[in-house]
Amino acid sequence: MNTSADLADQRFEFPFQNEHFEKLKGLVFEHTGITLGDEKKQLTYSRYSKRLRALGITDFNDYIDIISSGDESELPFFISAITTNFTSFFRENHHFEFLVNEVSRLIKIKKSVRIWSAGCSSGEEPYSMAMSLLHGVQGIETADVKILATDLDTAILATASRGIYSDERFDNANDSIVNPWIKRGKGENSGFVMIHPKVREMITYRQLNLLGQWPIKTSFDIIFCRNVVIYFSKDVQRTLFDRFSKNQSKGGKLMIGHSENLAGVCESYRLIGRTIYEKI
Ligand SMILES: C[S@@+](CC[C@H](N)C(=O)[O-])C[C@H]1O[C@@H](n2cnc3c(N)ncnc32)[C@H](O)[C@@H]1O
């Protein structure tokens, strides 16, 4: 007998039952730490049905088998399909203003400053950091300031390291900060902008799963991990922030997203500003 959930499933182009959703949920959690709520069933179907079409298969069981077998060629697409990459230049701008003040202070007392954009998506966050620093920090050109930018999603990282964006992405940006560091395209490139090599030189892009191994020995002065952990369970968040704290010295700063909170998650930091924390 059909259940109401199965009847609803008949609207799908490819048969998609709760059991498919449950298995995909498990695989998504295993590979990304993202917990998909039941309300994400339609979204899960729509993201992965595109992969079925791309691979020329019609059965979700076959797709689940491909991922369960650890197929390395599909795994990046599997991850990329579900991770939400929304970002923008100078998003939550108060963090970039804080960054400028903090780096201005640090370069007077330290030889090098290390910054990590963890979950950098398509690059808007690390480029906003670098442009803010080049604009606002006196002596930045000779200081040893580097940004590590990492993400799980290799496709999005390729966009980030290319450093080319449509010009409307800068519509709400402060021209005096941005204009010296972007080149506006002409002719067939009009409508696009390219990020200046000086900005790009400050950033190293690397693929890194925050829930996997970190081949990182650096102690970071500042970490941005914004709008990344929203889908992670509290336990996964606890482990992650604990690991961040081990990669920072006392006084290190951590920025999180506007809807995120460390209360009850990590006691190694104290709140010092709007979604700005300091390692105790
Ligand atoms: C919504 S974007 C946030 C981008 C940027 N930090 C911002 O606030 O604008 C979240 C990013 O986190 C990445 N992400 C999700 N799970 C991850 C994981 N387990 N390891 C590393 N990055 C992850 C996604 O690929 C995505 O690019």
Here the CATH number for the domain that contains residue 220 is 3.40.50.150
Domain count, the chain: 2
Contacts 24+ apart (CB under 8 A), 39-44: 44/82
The average pLDDT across 165-194 equals 95
Q: Which residues contact 239 (CB under 8 A, 6 or more apart)?
A: 211
Q: Whose CA is nearest to atom 10 of ligand 1?
A: 228
Query: Looking at 82, 112, 130, which one is the last position of a domain?
Result: 82
Decide: 225 in ligand 1 pocket, CB within 6 A. no
Q: Give me the percent of the chain exceeding a pLDDT of 70.
A: 96
Over residues 43-89, the pLDDT tens digits come to 999 999 999 999 999 999 999 999 999 888 998 889 889 988 889 99
Q: Could you tell me if residue 87 is inside a domain?
A: no
**Looking at the structure, do residues 135 and 53 belong to the same domain, yes or no?**
no
Supply the pLDDT for residue 230.
79
**Looking at the structure, do residues 161 and 231 belong to the same domain, yes or no?**
yes
**Looking at the structure, do residues 75 and 150 belong to the same domain, yes or no?**
no
Supply the pLDDT for residue 181.
98
> For the packed helices 18-32 and 41-55, what is the interaxial angle rounded to 10 degrees?
90
Range of the structural domain that residue 110 is part of: 94-279
**Looking at the structure, do residues 247 and 108 belong to the same domain, yes or no?**
yes
**Looking at the structure, do residues 264 and 131 belong to the same domain, yes or no?**
yes
**Looking at the structure, do residues 112 and 217 belong to the same domain, yes or no?**
yes
Query: Looking at 29, 54, 82, which one is the last position of a domain?
Result: 82
Burial class (CB in 10 A: 0-12, 13-18, 19+), 117: buried
**Looking at the structure, do residues 115 and 244 belong to the same domain, yes or no?**
yes
The average pLDDT across 173-201 equals 96
CA of 224 to the centre of ligand 1 (A): 11
**Looking at the structure, do residues 271 and 196 belong to the same domain, yes or no?**
yes
The average pLDDT across 18-26 equals 97
* 4 — pLDDT class (breaks 50, 70, 90): very low
**Looking at the structure, do residues 53 and 98 belong to the same domain, yes or no?**
no
Decide: 126 in ligand 1 pocket, CB within 6 A. no
**Looking at the structure, do residues 189 and 244 belong to the same domain, yes or no?**
yes
The average pLDDT across 127-148 equals 97
Query: Looking at 54, 82, 110, which one is the last position of a domain?
Result: 82
Residue 248 has pLDDT above 90, yes or no: yes
Over residues 94-130, the pLDDT tens digits come to 999 999 999 999 999 999 999 999 999 999 999 999 9
